[in-house]
C-alpha cells in the first residue's frame, strides 16, 4: 500500500510540473516553413503585414512539435541565508513556423514577440535567463554570422540563414526533434530595464553564444523597436514556474526586491513587457 501511494505521489508530482506551450493543435494543411517563407518574401510586403501573417500562423498552432514540450531550467541560490530552488520552463529552440521536417525560424520585432508571449502566457527571457538556457542546452551550435548589410532585415537573408542553421542541426536531428534544448543559433530579444532608458522604447538584444560560452552580442538597445534582422530569435518562457515547490509567476519574481536575482542580473525588472503600440 505504501509503495502504491509513493508511485501515485510521484506521478502527480511529475504531472504537476509538466509543461507544454499553450497553442492550438497544428492543422495538417497548414503551410510548411519553406512555403510560409515564400509567402512573405514579396519585397512590397510591409513589416506590419508580414507580422500580422506570422501572428496568424502562430495563433493557429502552426509550429513544429518539438517546440511544444517545454524544457525545465533549474536555478538554485542562497539568498540572505535561505536556500531557494526555482524551476522555469522554456521552449526548446527559437520560435519557428512549420513542422519538424520543414520549419522556418522567425525574426520579428519585439512588439510581435511580446504579442506572441501574451498569447501563450509566456515571457521573453532576461540576459541571465539566456545565459542559464545556454548553459543547460543539449545542442550548442557555433554562431554563423552573415556580414552586415541593408539586406539583413529582409526575408531572403532570413531564409539564407535559416538554411545555414538547418544544415548545422543535421548532426543533432534526433535529439532536436525530441525537444532537446538548443542554443547558439540566434541572439535573443530580451526583457530588460534598457527597453525604457531611451526617449522611445527600444528592442534589447543579447546572446549568440560561441562554443566557449562567451556571447557575441552584449546587451544592446540602439536599434529602434521596429528593427528585426536575421540574427534575432524569439525564445518563449512560460510565466508559470515553481519556487521551492510552489507555483509562482516569473513576473512576480522579477519584481521582488530580494528574489529577482534568481532571474535577473540587472536588478529588479518592474516592467517585463514590451509596449505593443
The reply to whether 203 falls in a domain is yes
CA–CA separation, 233 vs 183, rounded Å?
A: 10
The reply to whether 144 falls in a domain is yes
Do residues 45 and 94 touch, judged by C-beta distance below 8 A?
no
**CB under 8 Å to 152, separation ≥6 — which residues?**
146, 229, 230, 231
- Name the pLDDT band for 2 (thresholds 50, 70, 90): very low
The reply to whether 161 falls in a domain is yes
The reply to whether 122 falls in a domain is yes
The reply to whether 113 falls in a domain is yes
Q: Which residue segment(s) compose the domain that 118 sits in?
A: 2-262
* Number of domains, the chain: 1
The reply to whether 275 falls in a domain is no
pLDDT tens, position by position, 55-73: 999 999 999 999 999 999 9
The reply to whether 257 falls in a domain is yes
The reply to whether 276 falls in a domain is no
pLDDT tens, position by position, 214-261: 999 999 999 999 999 999 999 999 999 999 999 999 999 999 999 999
Cell numbers at residue 105, please?
525560424
**pTM for this one?**
0.92
Nearest CA among 166, 163, 148, 164 for reference residue 229: 148
Q: Is the pLDDT of residue 16 over 80?
A: no
Cell numbers at residue 131, please?
545565459
CA–CA separation, 90 vs 191, rounded Å?
A: 15
CA distances from 22 to 19, 115, 232, 236, 252 (A): 9, 14, 23, 11, 20
How confident is the model at residue 44, as a pLDDT? Answer: 85
Q: What is the mean pLDDT of residues 100-128?
A: 98
Amino acid at each position: 500500500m505504501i509503495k502504491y501511494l509513493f508511485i501515485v505521489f510521484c506521478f502527480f508530482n511529475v504531472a504537476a510540473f509538466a509543461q507544454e506551450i499553450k497553442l492550438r493543435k497544428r492543422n495538417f494543411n497548414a503551410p510548411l516553413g519553406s512555403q510560409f517563407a515564400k509567402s512573405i518574401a514579396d519585397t512590397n510586403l510591409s513589416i506590419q503585414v508580414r507580422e500580422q501573417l506570422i501572428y496568424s500562423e502562430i495563433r493557429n498552432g502552426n509550429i513544429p512539435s518539438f517546440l511544444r514540450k517545454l524544457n525545465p531550467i533549474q536555478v538554485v541560490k542562497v539568498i540572505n541565508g535561505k536556500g531557494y530552488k526555482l524551476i522555469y520552463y522554456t521552449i526548446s529552440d527559437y520560435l519557428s513556423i512549420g513542422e519538424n521536417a520543414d520549419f522556418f525560424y522567425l525574426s520579428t520585432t519585439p512588439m510581435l514577440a511580446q504579442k506572441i508571449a501574451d498569447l501563450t502566457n509566456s515571457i521573453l527571457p532576461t540576459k541571465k535567463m539566456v545565459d542559464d538556457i545556454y548553459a543547460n542546452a543539449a545542442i550548442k551550435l557555433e554562431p554563423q554570422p552573415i556580414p552586415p548589410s541593408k539586406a539583413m532585415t529582409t526575408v531572403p537573408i532570413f531564409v539564407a540563414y535559416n538554411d545555414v542553421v538547418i544544415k548545422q542541426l543535421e548532426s543533432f536531428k534526433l535529439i532536436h526533434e525530441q525537444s532537446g534544448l538548443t542554443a547558439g543559433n540566434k541572439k535573443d530579444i530580451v526583457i530588460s530595464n534598457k527597453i525604457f532608458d531611451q526617449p522611445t522604447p527600444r528592442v534589447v538584444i543579447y546572446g549568440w553564444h560561441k562554443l566557449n560560452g562567451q556571447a557575441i552580442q552584449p546587451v544592446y538597445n540602439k536599434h529602434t523597436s521596429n528593427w528585426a534582422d536575421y540574427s534575432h530569435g524569439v525564445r518563449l518562457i512560460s510565466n508559470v514556474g515553481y519556487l521551492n515547490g510552489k507555483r509562482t509567476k516569473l513576473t512576480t519574481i522579477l519584481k521582488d526586491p530580494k528574489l529577482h536575482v534568481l532571474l535577473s542580473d540587472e536588478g529588479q525588472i518592474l516592467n517585463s513587457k514590451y509596449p505593443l503600440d
